[in-house]
Structure 1
Amino acid sequence: MPINSELPLLGMVAAALVVAFLVALIATPVVKSLAFKVGAVDVPKDNRRMHDHPIPRMGGLAIYLGFLLSVLLFLDLNAQMRGMLLGATIIVVLGIFDDIYALGAKLKFLIQIGAALVAVLSGNVIETLSNPNVFSSNLYWDLGWLSIPVTVLWIVAITNAVNLIDGLDGLACGVSTISSMTLLVIALVVSEGDVALLMAALAGGCIGFLPYNMNPAKIFMGDTGSTFLGYILAVVSVNGLFKFYTIISFAVPFLMLGLPIFDTCFAFIRRIAHGQSPMHADRSHVHHRLIDMGFNQKQAVAVLYIISGILGLSAVVLTTSGPVKAMLLLMALCFAGAIAGHIFLSNNRKDMEKGKASEEQPEESPEEEQK
C-alpha cells in the first residue's frame, strides 16, 4: 500500500528521494562484497580503462533496490508503471549476468528490445510528437503504427547511450542524477506527480551510490546500473515529456539527455566515417578526449556535469519560459563555459609544459654543485 495519505506532493517527493538514498547508501557495501564473491570484477585489460587495479562492478543493483523500494512505498502502480518496473527488472538481471560473464552484444541487444517491448505493450508509447517546424499549420505528428518501433528505438537508444558514457568514476551516475532532477523539476512545474516521484526515487538512488563511485571509485555501477538508469530515464521521458502536446516538448528530452545522446551520435558517426562498426569500442568518447587534453578524472567529470547542468537548466527554462529565453540562456551559458574552459585549459597546458621542462632539465652532480 503506497504512502500517499495526507502528505503534500513536495513532501512525498522529498521522502521518496530520502528513502531511495538511504537504501542505496546502505546496500552498496553489501553489493560490493557480493560482486567479489560472484566474480563481477572489472580487471583493466586495455587503454580504454581509466583504472589500474581490479574494481568490483554490479553496483547498479544498489541503485535499483533503492529505486524499487521507494516506488513501491510512494506510488500507486498502474499498468504502465508495472510494465516499466518489469522491463527494468529484466534490464537489471541482464546487467548482472553481463557484469559477471561478459555477454555478447547481439544477445544483450535482443533482450533490451524485449524489455523495451514490455514497457511499450504496457502503454508507455510515443503516440504523438510536436512538429518542430514552427511554420507548419500541422502542430503535431500522429505516429500511428510507427509509435511502437519509434518508442522501442528511443528506449533502446537511451539505454545504451547512458551505458556508453560510463567511462569515468561518477560520470554516468552523476549525469543521470542531473537528468532525473531536471525531469523532476519539469514534472513539478506541469503537475505530473507520478513522474516527479519516479524521478525523486531515481535521483535518490543515484545520490546514495555516488559516494562509493566518485574518483577514486570503490565500486562501479557496471552494466547493471548504467543500462538500468538509461532504461528508466527513457521510459519515464516517454510519459513525462513526449505526451505534452506542445511545440517545445519535442526538444525537452533531447536537452535533458543531451550529453549521452550527442556523445553516442558523434561516436557512431565517427566510427562509420572511419569504416568501423558503429558498435566498435574505442577511446574517442568525450570523456576520453578531455583526459587526452590534460584534464584529470575529477576535472573531466566536473566539466561534463556542468555541460549536463546547462542542458538541463535550458530544458527547465524551455518548459517554463518559452524557447526564446531558453535559447538565450543556453547560448550565454555555453559562451561563458567556453571562455572558462579555454582559460582553464591554457593554464593546464602551461603547467604540464613546465612539468615536462623540469623533468627534462638535467640534475647537477654533487661535484658540480661544489664548484
Structure 2
Amino acid sequence: MTINLEFPLIGIVAAALVVALVVSLVATPVVKNLAIKMRAVDIPKDNRRMHDHPIPRMGGLAIFLGFILSVLLFLPLDTQLRGMLLGACIIVVLGIFDDIYSLKAMFKFVVQIVAALVAVLAGNVIEVLSNPNVFSSNPYWDLGWLAIPATVIWIVAITNAVNLIDGLDGLACGVSTISSMTLLVISLVISDGPVAILMAALAGGCLGFLPYNMNPAKIFMGDTGSTFLGYVLAVVSIQGLFKLYTIISFAVPFLMLGLPIFDTCFAFIRRIAHGQSPMHADRSHVHHRLIDMGLNQKQAVAVLYIISAILGLSAVVLTTSGPVKAMLLLLALCVAGAISAKIFLGNNGKKSDAGDVPAEKERPQ
C-alpha cells in the first residue's frame, strides 16, 4: 500500500492535537477543584484500590472539554459526528453523576445502550464485516438487520473495556492515547481526514491530562473519562476501520484495542468459571497481577504501555504492509518483550530484599 500523506491535513491534525492538549492541561486543575467541591472523591475502601488516600476523580471532564472544543473548531458537523458527540455528552453526564453518587451498574448499562443507539441511529453502523475465512469466495459479510445490535454491542463493550483497565495511575489514559495515536496514523495513511482529526483531538486531550494522572496521581479521570474514552474509540473505529472491505477491517480494531479487550474477556471468563456474575468486581485484572508479581505502579503501567504499543504498531504495519509482515513483526516484538520481561523481572526479584517503599505504600494493607 502506498503511503500518501497530505501536508495540509497533517497541519490541521497537529493543530487539533495542540488545541485539545492545551485546553485539557489548563482545565484539569479547575476540574480538580470542582471535583473536590462536589465530593467526587475516590476513597480507598477495598484491596482493589492502589492508592492509600482520597483522590479527586471526574478528571475526564477536562479531556472531554479539550476534545469537544478541538472537534468543533476543526470539523464540520455532519449527521454522524452530531450523533457521536451527543452520545459522548450522555456518557460524560452519566460519568459525572457516577463519580459523585456511585450509580448502580444496571442503570449505567442501560444509559450506555441509549448513548450507543444515539450514535448508531445517526449512521455510525457496522454494516459489513470482513470474512476472517480467507478461503471463502465471499470477501465480507453483510450484517443486514444485525448491524444495529452488533454495533451497539461493540460500542458498549469497548466503553466498559476501557473503564475496566482504569485501575492504576495513568493506565487507561495512556493506553487510550496509544490506541488513538494508532488510529491517527492509520487514518493519515489512508487519507481519512475526519477520523484523523477526531483521533488527534482525543490524543491531545489525553496528553494534556496525563501529567496530572501519572503516578503519584493528583486526580483520577473517573468513569467520566474512562467511559468517554472507550465510547469515542469504539464509535470512531466504526467510521475509520470497519468500513474497509478488507481483512484488516476485522483485525485492526482488535489489535488497536487489544489490551482492554483481552483484559475484559479474561475477567468475564474467570468470573463465570468461578460461578460469579460477569459484572462482579475483583482484584484479578492484568494490572493487579503485575502488582502482585512485585512490580510497583510505574513499572506495571510501563509494561502495559509497551504491550499496547506493540499491538498498535502491528495494526499500523498490517494496514500499510499486509498481514504477513504484521504477523512477523508481532511475533518478533513478542519474543523481544518476553526476553526483556524475564531479565527485568529477574533483576526486580533480586532487588526485592531491600523492599520497594512506593509499592508498599500504594498497596493497601
Q: Same fold per TM (> 0.5)?
A: yes
Q: Distance in 1 between matches of 2:279 and 2:334?
A: 30
Q: Distance in 1 between matches of 2:90 and 2:130?
A: 31
Q: Distance in 2 between matches of 1:350 and 1:204?
A: 39
- Per the normalisation by structure 2, the TM-score is 0.95
**Offset from partner CA, 1:25-52 (integer Å, 9 cap, x none):** 0000000000000010000000000000
1:73 has 2:73 as partner = yes
Give the CA deviation at 1:123: 0.1
**Offset from partner CA, 1:18-76 (integer Å, 9 cap, x none):** 00000000000000000000010000000000000000000000000000000000001
**Offset from partner CA, 1:86-133 (integer Å, 9 cap, x none):** 000000000000000000000000000000000000000000000011
**Equivalent residue runs for 1:132-147 within 5 Å:** 132-147=132-147
Q: Distance in 1 between matches of 2:252 and 2:39?
A: 40
Give the CA deviation at 1:355: 5.1
1:48 has 2:62 as partner = no
Give the CA deviation at 1:138: 0.8
Secondary structure of the residue aligned to 1:275 is coil
Secondary structure of the residue aligned to 2:291 is helix
**Equivalent residue runs for 1:11-90 within 5 Å:** 11-90=11-90
**Equivalent residue runs for 1:175-214 within 5 Å:** 175-214=175-214
Residue 8 of structure 1 aligns with an amino acid whose one-letter code is P
**Offset from partner CA, 1:302-322 (integer Å, 9 cap, x none):** 000000000000000000000
Secondary structure of the residue aligned to 2:239 is helix
Residue in 1 aligned with 2:351?
351
Residue in 2 aligned with 1:280?
280
Structure 1, unpaired ranges of 5+: 1-5, 357-371
- Per the normalisation by structure 1, the TM-score is 0.94
**Offset from partner CA, 1:313-333 (integer Å, 9 cap, x none):** 000000000000000000000
Residue 59 of structure 2 aligns with an amino acid whose one-letter code is G
Secondary structure of the residue aligned to 1:45 is coil
Structure number with bigger Rg: 1
Give the CA deviation at 1:249: 1.4
Give the CA deviation at 1:350: 1.8
Residue in 1 aligned with 2:227?
227
Residue 272 of structure 1 aligns with an amino acid whose one-letter code is I
Q: Distance in 1 between matches of 2:226 and 2:249?
A: 25
Residue 251 of structure 2 aligns with an amino acid whose one-letter code is A
Give the CA deviation at 1:7: 8.2
Residue 218 of structure 1 aligns with an amino acid whose one-letter code is K
Q: Distance in 2 between matches of 1:351 and 1:224?
A: 38
Moved more, 142-151 or 240-249: 240-249
Q: Distance in 1 between matches of 2:198 and 2:354?
A: 50
**Equivalent residue runs for 1:118-129 within 5 Å:** 118-129=118-129
Give the CA deviation at 1:247: 1.6
**Offset from partner CA, 1:211-265 (integer Å, 9 cap, x none):** 0000000000000000000000000000100001112210000000000000000
C-alpha distance 288-129 of structure 1, shift in aligned 2 (>3 A): same
Residue in 2 aligned with 1:369?
none
Q: Distance in 1 between matches of 2:248 and 2:218?
A: 41
Give the CA deviation at 1:354: 5.9
Q: Distance in 1 between matches of 2:353 and 2:135?
A: 53
1:167 has 2:149 as partner = no
1:236 has 2:236 as partner = yes
Which of the pair has the greater relative contact order for Cα pairs under 8 Å at 6+ separation?
Answer: 2
RMSD: 1.1
Q: Distance in 2 between matches of 1:50 and 1:237?
A: 31
Residue in 2 aligned with 1:105?
105
Residue 147 of structure 1 aligns with an amino acid whose one-letter code is A
Q: Distance in 2 between matches of 1:125 and 1:354?
A: 55
